[in-house]
Structure 1
Amino acid sequence: MSEHTLNDDQDMLSDSARKYIARGYGTAVREASFAHPQGCLPERWKEFAELGWLAMPVPEADDGLGSSLGDICVLAEELGRGLVNEPFIAAAVLATMLFVDVATPELRARYLPGVVTGSQRLAFAAWESGISFEGGAVTATAQQSGQTFSLNGTKTLVPGGAGADAFLLAAMTSGDSMGLFLVDAGSPRLTVTPRSLYDGQRVADIVLDGVEGAVALVTGSREEVVRLIERAIDRATVAHCAETVGVMVAAFETTREYLITRKQFGRAIGANQVIQHRMVDLMVEIEEARALTRAAASVIDQENGDDSTARRRYSAAAKAFVARAATHVWEESVQLHGAIGMTQEYVLGHFVKRLAAASTLYGGAEQQLERLATTVLEGPLATCD
């Protein structure tokens, strides 16, 4: 039996999420979510809270569930399978888990109860224009003004940023010092511009033009703060991989159903042995992607101390593999369907768009392979002749 086989609790979580999506998240709901300016239906977000999903990344000490990343990835896979549009990974994994890492008890008491009930949503503005998903490349600046800070700069592709109640972001303080700051979304001189990705998911660009009242969550050397940022992004990257695996599974199942029912010359297309071989190859690739994603989540859950090499290595390896697998799955699905696979009216087209976007979000395969190579050179292999 695989080391990463689901336990009983994870099986129940997966089953309940799948049933909820099948029952309450159909095409009409998905289209309404796409059309919503925030890319998130408030009533659905409340339902996520009632199901306990938003409490999963929040520690038990803060009235959350304190779930592992492995558990969260089980849910993320089902959300991907159901093509759920609400920004669960962006808000619950990327932003909330980073907030838990660095917030003071007073700020935790102020924000986390709302996060758990769905009345507050956080977003982490991790990237700047032209940086290509490098969380440590920061040009935004922060200047202290009394007990708070004034912020200047821009952030782009903020996942879950449309409709967020507060933003976490990094800015340079002085010299080689950096900080993580919390800014309310309604702050004067903060401009939030929502926009859509290729697949319809909402992100936001934000401009900080002397925004006053920013609260410092942590300040220190650039190296110290970047370590916190990379850990947050790695967790979200692995959860994103799990979600992408779910999308691949759905695309595969849709394609298999089509091949069984579509006939040419009096027989099902799927009866062709060459077609069967191609489908088997896809199935194996998806299972490999799932196994690597679960292994990465396990490594992150077991991370201990300052040695982050294993976490960075597994996160990069998982995303590099999943990015290439996502591309292969959508290309094969379209080829096996023919032209209908690219149409907006047919369900596969939505999975194709999500997979195309997923292959580059949080960094594409090439970037992740470069990062993987760096971790190998930094690790034990660097001492080998």
Structure 2
Amino acid sequence: MDFSYSEEQQMLQDSIAKFVQNDYDFDSRMKLVKSDLGYSEANWKLFAELGWLMVPFSEADGGLGGSAADLMVVMEEFGKGIVIEPFLATTVLGGGLVAAVGNDTQKAELIGGIMEGNLQMAFAYAEPQSRYNLADVATTATKDGDSYRLSGHKAVVLNGAAADVIAVSARTSGSQMDAEGISLFLVDPKSDGVRLKTYRTQDGGRAAEVHLDNVTVSADQLLGAEGQALPVMNQVLNRAILSICSEAVGAMEVSYKKTVEYTKTRVQFGVPIAKFQALQHRMADMFIEHQQAKSIVLMAAMKLDQGGAEADKAVSAMKSRIGKAARKIGQESIQIHGGIGVTEELDVGHYFKRLTMIELLFGNGDFHTQRFAKL
């Protein structure tokens, strides 16, 4: 099989790699993390101008193709710079839902706005009690004439603070754990009854707790068919998992390479610590973990593009394996650097924080190992 990138994918990779290398150094990123917005609007506009925001969407929706392999290329390069801009939340999650089940009007308005760099989105699906179960939805949507009234609490909504539109999962029928009866709604965060508590996550990103108290949503803000949202949520989350696993591959590559370079300059007992055989073995293990991680992400991307019953199994296998590799490489990079590895001023610790967050997002390794076994 041919695992090489196409000419278009190679150009995409080169353009993002050049941006990260020339315009996204660690100090610049930290300034963005500490800013009020949490990311750069100028960078976001640049992403739109360069066509990167079009990558996740099909040509029918005005995008560049929307394949999982293309998404993998983008996110791996973003991972090398631990890029903080909300590409995952806006284009993959929010935009992915609209692309999957939105009507023509919703697609034209929302996907068009995303690709132009003028619209931010978020996806509010998790709840305090739900853990990683997408079907555990206590938030309710009650029909009220030609509209719905939403009430509930959504937790850890990525990009919730900056979002212009939040896609919210709510139960229109059935009991809390039923697979049927879950619907998706497009909510304006400025609507009456919406309350956001925003905060910075451990890896430098932004998230929010979204509280809904009898929020009125018109019927044309229903996204997809009423009560049939769970399959599309699973489909979009699969692509989001591929995205963060690809990002992890990029972050792991930088982590182990920076660790190798450090051992060549750190002198102990009169010689660089790279000369110590025990450390050589540990760094070789880091390299192997990265290569295995990259291989399984490529496999999962191919399975997602092919579609079918194997996609869920491939995604869970990938997430389980990536979690182990991320923990191994992250911990080893910190330990080999020593105390300096956990300082705020050194980037290695920030790569470790992002890898740790990725291991927990959308289901940790234990959850996906069990899911794989069930499938």
TM-score, structure 2 normalization:
0.94
Please show how residues 278-293 of structure 1 align to structure 2 within 5 Å: 278-293=282-297
Please show how residues 122-141 of structure 1 align to structure 2 within 5 Å: 122-141=121-140
Task: Indicate yes or no: 2:275 matched with 1:276.
Answer: no
- Tell me how far apart the structure 2 counterparts of residues 367 and 216 of structure 1 sit (CA, whole Å): 30
* One-letter identity of the residue aligned with 2:173: S
- Tell me how far apart the structure 1 counterparts of residues 291 and 4 of structure 2 sit (CA, whole Å): 12
* One-letter identity of the residue aligned with 1:357: M
- Tell me how far apart the structure 2 counterparts of residues 172 and 118 of structure 1 sit (CA, whole Å): 31
- Tell me how far apart the structure 2 counterparts of residues 260 and 7 of structure 1 sit (CA, whole Å): 36
Q: Secondary structure at the match of 2:126?
A: coil
Task: Indicate yes or no: 2:201 matched with 1:197.
Answer: yes
- Tell me how far apart the structure 1 counterparts of residues 236 and 104 of structure 2 sit (CA, whole Å): 19
- Tell me how far apart the structure 2 counterparts of residues 266 and 13 of structure 1 sit (CA, whole Å): 45
Q: Give the aligned partner of residue 223 of structure 2.
A: 217
- Tell me how far apart the structure 1 counterparts of residues 372 and 184 of structure 2 sit (CA, whole Å): 26
User: CA deviation digits over 1:287-321, x for unaligned, max 9?
Assistant: 11111011111111111xxx4x3111111110111
Question: Are the structure 2 counterparts of residues 133 and 87 from structure 1 closer, same or farther at C-alpha, using a change threshold of 3 Å?
Answer: farther
Q: Give the aligned partner of residue 55 of structure 1.
A: 54
Task: Indicate yes or no: 2:180 matched with 1:181.
Answer: no
Q: Give the aligned partner of residue 316 of structure 1.
A: 316
- Tell me how far apart the structure 1 counterparts of residues 91 and 73 of structure 2 sit (CA, whole Å): 14
Q: Give the aligned partner of residue 164 of structure 1.
A: 163
Task: Indicate yes or no: 2:100 matched with 1:96.
Answer: no
Task: Indicate yes or no: 2:362 matched with 1:362.
Answer: yes
- Tell me how far apart the structure 2 counterparts of residues 5 and 270 of structure 1 sit (CA, whole Å): 32
* One-letter identity of the residue aligned with 1:9: E
Q: Give the aligned partner of residue 381 of structure 1.
A: none
Q: Secondary structure at the match of 2:52?
A: coil
* One-letter identity of the residue aligned with 2:295: A
2:56–2:70: 8 Å Cα contact kept in structure 1?
no
* One-letter identity of the residue aligned with 2:351: F
**CA RMSD, aligned part only?**
1.5
1:37–1:162: 8 Å Cα contact kept in structure 2?
no
Shift of 1:59: 2.4
- Tell me how far apart the structure 1 counterparts of residues 222 and 232 of structure 2 sit (CA, whole Å): 14
Shift of 1:3: 4.3
Q: Secondary structure at the match of 1:49?
A: helix
- Tell me how far apart the structure 2 counterparts of residues 209 and 4 of structure 1 sit (CA, whole Å): 50
Match of 2:305 among 289, 301, 306: 301
* One-letter identity of the residue aligned with 1:356: T
User: CA deviation digits over 1:145-174, x for unaligned, max 9?
Assistant: 333321111111112222011011211112
User: CA deviation digits over 1:115-154, x for unaligned, max 9?
Assistant: 1111101111121113222222111111123333211111
Q: Give the aligned partner of residue 379 of structure 1.
A: none
User: CA deviation digits over 1:205-263, x for unaligned, max 9?
Assistant: 10110111241112344xx4211111111110111100011111111111011011112
Q: % of aligned pairs identical?
A: 35
1:32–1:41: 8 Å Cα contact kept in structure 2?
no
- Tell me how far apart the structure 1 counterparts of residues 122 and 3 of structure 2 sit (CA, whole Å): 30
Point out where structure 1 has 5 or more consecutive residues left out of the alignment. Answer: 376-385
- Tell me how far apart the structure 1 counterparts of residues 324 and 2 of structure 2 sit (CA, whole Å): 24
Q: Secondary structure at the match of 1:373?
A: helix
Question: Are the structure 2 counterparts of residues 37 and 148 from structure 1 closer, same or farther at C-alpha, using a change threshold of 3 Å?
Answer: farther
- Tell me how far apart the structure 1 counterparts of residues 59 and 286 of structure 2 sit (CA, whole Å): 40
Point out where structure 2 has 5 or more consecutive residues left out of the alignment. Answer: 175-179
1:151–1:171: 8 Å Cα contact kept in structure 2?
yes
Q: Secondary structure at the match of 2:90?
A: helix
1:125–1:156: 8 Å Cα contact kept in structure 2?
yes
TM-score, structure 1 normalization:
0.92
Larger deviation: 203-212 or 272-281?
272-281
Q: Secondary structure at the match of 1:321?
A: helix
Q: Give the aligned partner of residue 256 of structure 1.
A: 260
- Tell me how far apart the structure 1 counterparts of residues 43 and 203 of structure 2 sit (CA, whole Å): 19
Shift of 1:27: 2.7
Q: Secondary structure at the match of 2:303?
A: helix
Superposition misfits of 4+ residues, deviation over 4 angstroms: none
1:177–1:219: 8 Å Cα contact kept in structure 2?
no
User: CA deviation digits over 1:150-204, x for unaligned, max 9?
Assistant: 1111111112222011011211112352211111122111112211221121111
Q: Give the aligned partner of residue 265 of structure 1.
A: 269
